[in-house]
Every structure is written in structure tokens, then in C-alpha cells.
């Protein structure tokens, strides 16, 4: 289909050039009748050679340009009127430059200048006329060749800009996919681990302490509902036009602590609004830390401490160590701590994790833009 469309375009272009050269040359011949020859069948034939050659410019760009120029030289040397006959040569030389055949285009332009200057010399023009003739031809040829080069440069820059925009779009899409994968990993790792731990607890207590088993089953129900909701929120970005709402924030820490199945003490030192990326990263770090505590240190006391500084948020999640046999100690992907560290690093922060006393501590520091200072009258108000 594309080849047929280009072929049709070339035919229309050749017809337009043929009509323009023939019709306009008739007017030029009448205006130059006092010093140029009138058009005859040979002159009309030479006028049609160039438009016919444009039909082959895609397959034989240089050859079609050479044939057109030879016909143009013969037309001018034959004494026919100047002017419209140059339309096709200009178009083909311009096309050579745009299609990367620059050396051939400049060589043919130089040959054209030499042929027309030789024609003027052999025609017996006066020296003053020869100089004017040479300058006029050189200026005309240089003008349209420079215009062709500038057009080529502009087109290449536009193409490069378009490539850069497309590459940036692909990079952003790739980063978005990585973010989604990380979100899904964190959601699934936390909630599935919690479900597994609570299911094991329910099985253990089902016969002896059914009320405690009911509590575990209630937690499983809540966690499964939560994981479905968060997965739906993350995957909604795949739907065209679907808005993406934040999947996690520090305002939901109380829910997270309640579902963890561990005795957790939540402490906040200070308070201030945080950018959504920092909110999401802080939530996921706390979530992954509680997941690790539930998996490796069941029965431990956990302390979550959030310290809001002027230019940072500090997170500490500390557990006191397992008091019962870990159910999932040997399971898991092993990507929890590296994933948390990547989240912190992506925001320019740091994260450390390791044993402390008899337990384990995760400590993260996330940079935050300082809050703008408020005017004195607002503070007093």
C-alpha cells in the first residue's frame, strides 16, 4: 500500500512539474522573444525530460538528476528561454541533499555552474557581463543549495528530537513498569506472608482455643481483601485513561499495624506533610519490615518510630526477637531488604538493617524538601 501511494505521488508530481515548465516556459519565451529562440518540438521535448526523470528519482536518484541536468544544459545551449526549465533540476538537487547524497549534489551543482559559465564565455559576452553572469549564477546556486542544507539540518534535528522524546517515553514507561512490579511485590509479600502466618496460627489453635482461631481467620479475611484492593489499584494504570491513586500512605499505618498480627508500638515524633513518593516509600519500608518481623520473629515486640525532621524523615522499625518457632523463616524471595534499600536510594536516602540486641532493626532516612518558612503574621495568628 505504501509503495502504491508513493508511486501515485510521483506521477502527480511529474505531471505538475511538466505542466509548470511547459506553460510557464511559453510565457518566458514570449517575454524573451527579442533575444532567445521560440519554443519548438525539440524545446518542448527537453522541457519534458526532467519531469519524466523524477519518476525514477527514488530508485536512481543520482542518474535521474544527471539526465535532468543534461536536458537542461541542452535546452539553455539551444537558445531557448531562461526560467521555468530550472524547476526540475532545483527540485532534484534539493532531493539529493535531503536524502543524504550531499557530495553528489554539490558536485553536480559545481558542474552546472561551470557549464553555464562556459556557455557565457563561448557566447562572446563582454568581460563585465561575464563577471556579472558568474556572480549571478554562483549566488543562485549557492542560495538554493544552502537552503537545502539548512532544511536537511532542521529535519535531522526534528528527527533527533522525536527520537529523544520517544526514548524518554520508553524510559518512563519502563520505570513505571518497574515501580508497578515493586508495588506488587511489596503488596503480595506482606499480605501473603500475613495470611500464611495467621492460617498456621488458626490451624494450631482451632481445637484448643477456637476464639483465638476466629481472630486469626478474621485477620486473614481482612488481609485478603486488602491485597485484592491494592492489586486493583496498582493494575488500574494499565487501563487507558484510568487515574492512578496513591496505593499507600502513612495515614494508613494504623491499619497496617492492626493487620500485622504483632504487638506493635507506633511512635511519631513531629509531623509535617510529605511528598507522595516519600509517603509511599515510607509505608512500604514499614510494611516490609513488619512482614520480615512476622516471618522471622513471631511473638516479638515491635516498635515503629517515625521522626519528622526539617529536611528528612527517619524511620526505625525494631523488634525484640522471636519468642516462638518462626513459621516462614526459610521462605521468601530474599529481596525484602534490597528492595527497601532501592526505594530509599531512589529518593536519595539511605537504609540500614541488621541485628540489634536480641532482635533486628531497620533504619531508613529519606530526604524531604524543607518546609517553606511562614510569615510572622501567620505564625502569630
Q: For the domain that residue 259 is a member of, what is the CATH number? A: 3.30.565.10
For the chain, residues with pLDDT lower than 50 are 240-246, 328-332, 375-381
pLDDT given for residue 131 in this prediction = 78
pLDDT digits (tens, 9 = 90+) for 330-346: 444 556 788 788 888 88
The residue from 124, 139, 156 where one domain ends is: 124
Contacts of residue 367, defined as CB under 8 A and 6 or more positions apart, other chains included, come to 311, 312, 347, 348, 349
Q: Are residues 64 and 8 in the same domain?
A: yes
Mean of the per-residue pLDDT values of the chain: 80
Name the residue among 251, 270, 289 with its Cα closest to residue 368.
Answer: 270
Q: Are residues 96 and 196 in the same domain?
A: no
The residue from 124, 156, 177 where one domain ends is: 124
Q: Would the CA dihedral through 139, 141, 143, 149 be positive or negative?
A: negative
pLDDT given for residue 284 in this prediction = 85
Count the domains in the chain.
Answer: 2
Residue 150 within a domain: no
Strand residue runs (E) in 230-271: 264-269
- What is residue 314's three-state secondary structure? strand
Q: Are residues 111 and 183 in the same domain?
A: no
Contacts of residue 29, defined as CB under 8 A and 6 or more positions apart, other chains included, come to 36, 37, 38, 39, 80, 81
Domain region containing 196: 167-237+247-369
Residue 270 within a domain: yes
Long-range contact pairs involving 197-206 (C-beta distance under 8 Å, separation at least 24) = 197/261, 197/294, 197/295, 197/298, 197/327, 197/328, 198/223, 198/261, 200/327, 201/261
Q: Are residues 287 and 232 in the same domain?
A: yes
Q: Are residues 364 and 216 in the same domain?
A: yes
Distance CA 286, CA 315 (A): 8
Q: Are residues 79 and 173 in the same domain?
A: no
The residue from 63, 91, 124 where one domain ends is: 124
- What is residue 206's three-state secondary structure? coil
What is the phi/psi pair of residue 323, to 5°? -110, -10
Question: Is 0.85 surpassed by the pTM of this model?
Answer: no
pLDDT given for residue 234 in this prediction = 61
Distance CA 178, CA 180 (A): 5
Q: Are residues 70 and 172 in the same domain?
A: no
Residue 27 within a domain: yes
Q: Are residues 44 and 191 in the same domain?
A: no
- What is residue 301's three-state secondary structure? coil
Q: Are residues 196 and 87 in the same domain?
A: no
Amino acid at each position: 500500500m505504501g509503495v502504491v501511494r508513493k508511486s501515485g505521488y510521483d506521477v502527480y508530481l511529474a505531471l505538475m512539474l511538466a505542466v509548470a515548465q511547459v506553460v510557464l516556459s511559453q510565457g518566458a519565451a514570449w517575454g524573451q522573444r527579442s533575444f532567445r529562440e521560440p519554443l519548438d518540438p525539440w524545446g518542448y521535448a527537453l522541457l519534458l525530460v526532467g519531469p519524466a526523470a523524477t519518476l525514477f528519482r527514488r530508485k536512481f536518484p543520482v542518474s535521474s538528476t544527471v539526465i535532468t541536468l543534461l536536458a537542461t544544459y541542452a535546452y539553455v545551449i539551444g537558445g531557448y528561454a531562461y526560467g521555468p526549465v530550472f524547476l526540475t533540476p532545483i527540485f532534484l538537487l534539493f532531493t539529493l541533499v535531503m536524502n543524504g547524497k550531499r557530495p553528489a549534489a554539490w558536485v553536480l551543482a559545481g558542474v552546472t555552474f561551470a557549464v553555464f559559465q562556459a556557455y557565457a564565455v563561448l557566447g562572446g559576452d563582454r568581460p563585465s557581463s561575464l563577471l556579472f553572469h558568474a556572480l549571478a549564477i554562483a549566488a543562485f546556486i549557492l542560495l538554493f543549495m544552502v537552503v537545502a542544507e539548512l532544511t536537511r539540518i532542521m529535519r535531522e534535528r526534528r528527527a533527533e528530537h522525536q527520537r529523544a522524546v520517544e526514548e524518554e517515553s520508553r524510559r518512563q514507561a519502563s520505570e513505571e513498569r518497574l515501580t508497578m512490579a515493586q508495588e506488587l511485590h511489596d503488596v503480595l509479600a506482606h499480605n501473603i506472608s500475613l495470611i500464611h502466618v495467621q492460617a498456621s496460627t488458626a490451624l494450631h489453635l482451632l481445637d484448643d482455643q477456637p476464639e483465638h482461631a476466629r481472630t486469626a481467620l478474621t485477620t486473614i479475611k481482612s488481609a485478603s481483601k486488602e491485597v485484592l484492593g491494592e492489586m486493583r489499584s496498582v493494575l488500574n494504570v494499565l487501563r487507558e485513561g484510568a487515574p492512578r491513586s496513591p496505593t499507600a500512605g502513612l495515614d494508613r499505618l494504623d491499619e497496617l499495624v492492626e493487620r500485622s498480627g504483632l504487638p506493635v508500638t507506633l511512635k511519631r515524633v513531629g509531623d509535617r506533610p510529605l511528598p507522595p513518593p516519600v509517603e509511599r516509600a515510607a509505608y512500604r519500608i514499614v510494611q516490609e519490615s513488619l512482614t520480615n518481623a512476622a516471618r522471622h520473629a513471631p511473638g516479638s515486640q515491635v516498635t515503629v518510630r517515625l521522626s519528622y525532621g526539617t529536611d528528612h524523615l527517619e524511620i526505625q522499625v525494631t523488634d525484640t526477637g522471636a519468642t516462638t518457632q518462626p513459621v516462614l523463616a526459610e521462605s521468601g524471595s530474599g529481596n525484602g531488604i534490597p528492595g527497601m534499600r532501592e526505594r530509599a536510594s531512589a529518593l536519595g536516602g539511605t537504609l540500614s538493617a541488621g541485628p540489634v540486641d536480641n532482635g533486628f532493626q531497620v533504619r531508613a532516612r529519606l530526604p524531604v524538601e524543607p518546609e517553606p518558612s511562614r510569615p510572622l503574621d501567620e505564625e502569630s495568628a
